[in-house]
A and B are shown apart, each in its own frame.
Chain A
Amino acid sequence: MGRLNVDLCGVGLDNPVIPASGTFGYGHEFAEYYDIDCLGAFSFKGTTKEPRFGNPQPRIAECAGGMLNAVGLQNPGVDRVIAEELPRLAKVFHKPVMANVSGFSPEEYAYVCERLDKQPQVGWLEVNISCPNVHGGGMSFGTDPEAAAQVVRAVKAVTAKPVIVKLTPNVTDVVSVALACEAAGADGLSLINTLQAMRIDLGTKKPLLANVTGGLSGPAVFPVAVRMVYQVHEAVHIPLVGVGGVSSAEDVIEMMLAGAAAVEIGAANLTDPYACRDIIRDLPAVMDRYGIQNLRDIIGGAHG
């Protein structure tokens, strides 16, 4: 076993670096640029029951140290993902992929997960509970421990694959949602999704994004993500995937010290298509600098 190997919910990874959902498409764009088999895994574009066009333009804004997106879960729908995207991915990626799933009711999540459960390429289901609950007044599932648990139970009933629940940071107490997901049977948690944010255009004096609000990501959110991973690691016993503004090998190590068993990299892929490849390349030298022999030994190392 190499110095970078880690385990995520019983599935071995060559390294902890996982491109985050929504920043890596279904893989083939990046496969044009480098051999994506160097990745630990990757989380594909958030997939829903029905095809979605997503939000109107503009969908992207910028800020100091990051960006806002309001793409709105554009995806071709689970049937076409299975029929078209996964076969295309099989040609360029020869490891288990993380299937990111979104829905607007527990039944929709279960519908999508049940179909993806049958795909041998899928190693984990990553369930994005930041979506609005159409039967719950539009409030995000992820902001209410009981609504989050409902989704987890619905998904766990239809799949034997590890279920990783992606938590939203837009809550008062992320630990209570994390504990509810763990109690409902989640095999792991990934955190954090983007922070709700907005920008206003001084020229038009109106919100810059057509959707008014968007999700903030990039280095600006990294310390928030580290804090939440640290807090959740104190409370739960299932593995965590640290996500949020990770942009360097140093950031990967910091996130793992906070408690992450693996680390997702999002916005950094958008500013540099080679970001993940370069971070994996840089890890051994950075580990040497900090006297780290094996990454798997530092998970949660910052805790007392």
Chain B
Amino acid sequence: MEKGVFTITENVPVAAGVYRMVLAGDTSAVTAPGQFVDIRLPDLYLRRPISVCDAADGRLTLVYKTVGRGTERMADMGPGRELELLTGLGNGFSLDGCSGRPLLAGGGVGAAPLYLLAKRLVQRGVRPLAVLGFNGASDVFYADEFAALGADVTIATADGSRGVKGFVTDAMAGLSYSYVYACGPEPMLRAVWESSATDGQFSFEARMGCGFGACMGCTRQTVNGPRRVCKDGPVFLKGEIVWDG
């Protein structure tokens, strides 16, 4: 983890209520795809955890959805604005253990951290499948960016307005893959977890206090006992996960 000041260089909408913010600063603490940053925002007491979409050479890209006061405040910020971030938080996805053809399953804005994962896989000579699910065509983002990396992209929309009609799991049904990486809302993660026959890694969202393992605010139960989403996660192995209810 590092604490540092970043400067916004770009903050533009990429889909309905979804923005891409690019920041300039020291990205050296970002060591794995699937990690997140924790952003101090004016007048809000707690930082806001946002997953890293891309990080390279002092350029940090976040793709976030406006869901509350923090992200709405972020959406109003223009280039030149400085923000204080904690970077390199969370374990992130591991590229080890993935052989053959991995499938990246993204639900909504959960597709964002899968972008840096796809990039890293392609750098290793692995061409992933990317199945990205959204509510409708206006919510779709980064389909072209994933394709430009060399991923084989399938889009699913719940209302059928673009790509396969249905959920991520519907679009996954006919595909052949050897490993799953998933990020998205918990019902989507659970559906992927239940329907996929392969091993995999699943990245969870949580309401956090600190974001770096101190407060136990984001703990969830696992087969190995209580684990903090922010510090022990946000990525958990398929076999570790315990679902509520």
Contact = CB atoms under 8 A, between A and B. Distances in A.
Interface in A51-109: 53-54, 56-67, 69, 71, 74
B46 interface: yes
A60 B214 contact: no
Given A271-B46, A273-B1, A57 B206 contact: yes
Nearest to A30: B214
Given A218-B45, A271-B47, A29 B209 contact: no
B216 A74 contact: yes
Contacts of B86: 273
Interface residues of B, number: 27
A246 to B, nearest CB: 14
Interface in A134-181: none
Interface stretch (B15-23, B132-140, B217-225): B217-225
Interface stretch (A18-26, A111-119, A281-289, A294-302): A18-26
Contacts of A33: 1, 212
A245 B215 CA distance: 15
A269 B45 CA distance: 12
A67 B46 contact: yes
Contacts of A267: 45
A29 B1 CA distance: 11
Contacts of A271: 40, 45-47, 210
Given A54-B226, A60-B218, A63-B45, A32 B1 contact: yes
Secondary structure at chain A's binding surface: helix, strand, loop or mixed? loop
Contact of B210 (A56, A61, A269): A269
Contacts, number: 89
Contacts of A23: 210, 214-215
B209 A60 contact: yes
B207 A270 contact: no
Contact of B3 (A63, A65, A273): A273
A45 B226 CA distance: 15
A22 B215 contact: yes
**Chain A contact patch, size range:** 35 or more
Interface string B24-61: 00000000000000001001111100000000000000
Contacts of B63: none
Nearest to B84: A272
Contacts of B207: 57-61
Nearest to A74: B216
B119 interface: no
Nearest to B210: A270
A218 B45 CA distance: 8
Interface in B200-243: 206-210, 212-221, 226, 231
A71 B217 contact: yes
Contacts of B209: 59-60, 67, 69, 270
Interface string A18-51: 0000111100011011000000000001000000
A24 B219 contact: no
A272 B86 CA distance: 9
Contacts of B226: 53-54, 74
A29 B217 CA distance: 15
A60 B3 contact: no
A25 B218 contact: no
A97 to B, nearest CB: 16
Contacts of B46: 60, 62, 67, 270-271
6 contacts: A63-B45, A218-B45, A270-B215, A271-B45, A273-B210, A273-B212
Interface of A: 22-25, 29-30, 32-33, 45, 53-54, 56-67, 69, 71, 74, 218-219, 267, 269-274
Given A69-B209, A270-B209, A270-B214, 5 more contacts: A25-B216, A53-B219, A60-B215, A270-B210, A271-B210
